Amino acid sequence: MTKLRFHIRFPEEKIPEPVVYHIGHDYRVVTSIRRADVRETTGWMDIELSGDVEEIERAIDGLRQQGISVDPIELNVVE
């Protein structure tokens, strides 16, 4: 099982949506929120996705199709 970390930024219209829930529900990955700052008009999150690489890539593509910015994190967020 692979674990990869990503920094995601939400457009304002996605703030009220359960984005993390849908990642775990729609794709075969386990999500772990490492850090986050979600406010009324802005939001970002550092998340760890665990699962098969192909499924993690599908989840990332799905987020990007929703207009969510996704960037890989190369260092551990929480040690």
CATH number at residue 35: 3.30.70.260
- Residue 74 confidence (pLDDT): 73
4-29 burial string, b = 16+ CB within 10 Å, else e? bbbbbebeeeeeeeebeeebbeebeb
Does residue 79 fall inside a structural domain? no
Q: Identify the domain containing residue 55 by its residue range.
A: 2-72
Q: Tell me the pLDDT tens digit for each residue of 6-63.
A: 999 999 999 999 999 999 999 999 999 999 999 989 899 999 999 999 999 999 999 9
Residue 76: is its pLDDT beyond 60?
no
Does residue 39 fall inside a structural domain? yes
Beta strands across the sheet bearing 69-72: 30-38, 43-51, 2-10, 69-72
Per-residue pLDDT band for 78 (boundaries 50, 70, 90) equals very low
- Name residues whose C-beta falls within 8 Å of residue 59's C-beta, 6 or more positions apart in sequence: 23, 26, 27, 29, 49
Instruction: Quote the number of domains for the chain.
Output: 1
pTM of the model: 0.86
